[in-house]
Structure 1
């Protein structure tokens, strides 16, 4: 790895994470957080920055690159059982390695055994990955698939609400946390490889919408899990140190990454047959990915979680109504720090040839997440049911799919999954949990959980609204949008 690349990624990661870190540090000083916790927060933030940089460098050259190659290979083989089998196995493996799923499972360990939650979510992801990839292969209507999935989802949620209503927010949050930096980048690359192998005129656009479909799988599987579990309010653990989490993550991430390495060797022997120098580079990239995950998760769990909890407890116990504007400010800050958002915005700008800029995407996503966190804090303060927000929100979302350009609908559903990253899980969720624990009468399980679900929902609305505005601007400038392909005045496809 060239030092210049590492420095570039560290600078990029610092710009992304520093706003949240500084804001959290300033508030922590004002509310007089213990000095040892502030030190852990500072060290954790530094670990987040370095871990994110190493993870991005490693994953782009290992899991992401292999995902595209595997997608091309299994599509060109034209054997449906092989296609489905590989997609299932990869779906299971990539989800088990997802860092923010481990963060959530740690927060819910008093409610559901972590291994049970992780396996349940992984099965849901694997099944929906197969459906999403089959849609690309056979060109099913994305709009109809979304409608079918969400109707099924809300019918099942309605059924589960009678037997285990407290499980509803947890289930919806599970869908959001699953599509973090590992899963998001991998699935997008895998889908792009399959689309590329198909090779028709719409292949570049077909990768969009994949993540939106996949994120429904964990919600469905965890809702089914809710039939067998009677959850109680989780106990927030702030006693574990950075060293405790470091030792745990060294083992857990080794277990998570090892199947990928073995899977690569299987494909190397029977399919790829890469030269030795490339095999060596891929293995080194796997090591960077592993090291990045260990540092990133340790920084999130050992630094962010505790500070987020303390801030939430302070404002929940003293100035609970300030949680709403405070949450909105944090919501604006966390979006830029998510690697999945960075990857999505870059891909959208490339596919649209600049017609949809990264800046516009970032503004729309930031506004959506800010509103979502504000609504989540309103729920913590008032105790209103999550249904009063989810049902109207998804109703508006589905309505907009009939009005907004289809490509923006696809991007919107992916964006909802992209914004629910480790900072949302590792900082905003503890903020809500800490507040709920300090407010008399609040229930952390029902009032705090659901934050990730709302964060994932609001970009579905804001991005589709951006699509409608972009379409109107194109009409005014005598550009034409034809079947979701943006065509400029020279007739060149963007």
Structure 2
């Protein structure tokens, strides 16, 4: 009982420390710069407590379920010895965790509105809806592609730096030819992929796969899949915008 209480206390304290820098920054600007007391202080403190509680349960869920599941599935696929299944799983994992991402939905809808206002696409509900749906599918497919490529890189033992250099070289080239209205959206799309589900699951997949394959280093080979997942949407969205707006 005492060990459980100490473990629980340490975890809650750790969650408080994670949120504390944000609270300090907000408090500094509110009190020192704006020089006004916090409006609705009671609600603010209650919200802070909810954030700490949510962060605590979220981290616990990652450690208890998501990380072990990803590593265990990767290990089982490695034992089966069929690379096509693990490649398909890497693709589907990246696609599924991205297509339902709330941040992607919000950004895609806002991007559709702004591009329609700018006149890059017809400002009609049906046209905007098609553009938004295509944008969401493009980003989800790009993350799925990154998941499959990350798995292939681990299986083959290819260095990550090669993928990064080639990927950003293609992005720089594509930036010169893509419509100006899609470039900012494309670069922001790379950050959308770093969601609360995509990051732990894809990381667990990479680490678990690298651990299961003889000759692979979990530190060197297991990590880096998130870098690919952040890189490919930039390129895919610029290609999508170029084709859609041509």
The answer, yes or no, to whether TM exceeds 0.5 is yes
**In the alignment, what sits opposite 2:70?**
308
**In the alignment, what sits opposite 1:327?**
90
Residue 263 (str. 1) matches residue 14 (str. 2): no
Range moving further from structure 2, 448-457 or 346-355: 346-355
**In the alignment, what sits opposite 1:92?**
none
Give the unaligned 5+ runs of structure 2.
117-124
Distance in 1 of aligned mates of 2:57 and 2:112: 30
Residue pair 1:365, 1:459 contacting (<8 A) in 2 also = yes
Range moving further from structure 2, 374-383 or 279-288: 279-288
**In the alignment, what sits opposite 1:294?**
56
Distance in 2 of aligned mates of 1:285 and 1:398: 42
Residue pair 1:376, 1:454 contacting (<8 A) in 2 also = yes
**In the alignment, what sits opposite 1:396?**
170
Deviations 1:402-446 (A, max 9, x none): 111223111111111210223232111111211111112222222
Deviations 1:195-250 (A, max 9, x none): xxxxxxxxxxxxxxxxxxxxxxxxxxxxxxxxxxxxxxxxxxxxxxx999865542
**In the alignment, what sits opposite 1:411?**
185
The change in CA–CA distance for 1:350 and 1:314 in structure 2 (over 3 A counts) is same
Helix, strand or coil at the partner of 2:221: helix
Distance in 1 of aligned mates of 2:27 and 2:162: 49
Residue 378 (str. 1) matches residue 152 (str. 2): yes
Helix, strand or coil at the partner of 1:444: coil
The change in CA–CA distance for 1:398 and 1:351 in structure 2 (over 3 A counts) is same
Aligned pairs (5 A) from 1:9-28:
none
Give the unaligned 5+ runs of structure 1.
1-241, 473-494
Distance in 1 of aligned mates of 2:232 and 2:217: 23
Helix, strand or coil at the partner of 2:215: coil
Helix, strand or coil at the partner of 2:197: helix
Distance in 2 of aligned mates of 1:362 and 1:351: 16
Residue 468 (str. 1) matches residue 231 (str. 2): no
Distance in 2 of aligned mates of 1:249 and 1:299: 12
Residue pair 1:376, 1:448 contacting (<8 A) in 2 also = no
Residue pair 2:12, 2:56 contacting (<8 A) in 1 also = yes
Helix, strand or coil at the partner of 1:446: coil
**Counterpart pick for 2:225 among 418, 429, 451:** 451
**Counterpart pick for 2:142 among 347, 352, 368:** 368
The change in CA–CA distance for 1:337 and 1:248 in structure 2 (over 3 A counts) is farther
1:346 Cα deviation after fit: 4.0
The change in CA–CA distance for 1:260 and 1:393 in structure 2 (over 3 A counts) is closer
The change in CA–CA distance for 1:368 and 1:316 in structure 2 (over 3 A counts) is same
1:465 Cα deviation after fit: 1.1
Helix, strand or coil at the partner of 1:442: coil
TM-score, normalisation: structure 1: 0.43
Residue pair 1:368, 1:458 contacting (<8 A) in 2 also = yes
**In the alignment, what sits opposite 1:31?**
none
TM-score, normalisation: structure 2: 0.82
**In the alignment, what sits opposite 2:202?**
428
Aligned length, in residue pairs: 230
Residue pair 1:317, 1:435 contacting (<8 A) in 2 also = no
1:252 Cα deviation after fit: 1.6
Helix, strand or coil at the partner of 1:352: helix
Deviations 1:241-280 (A, max 9, x none): x999865542222012223323333333341636743x43
Q: Quote the RMSD (CA, aligned, Å).
A: 2.6
The change in CA–CA distance for 1:449 and 1:263 in structure 2 (over 3 A counts) is closer
Helix, strand or coil at the partner of 1:445: coil
Distance in 2 of aligned mates of 1:280 and 1:268: 16
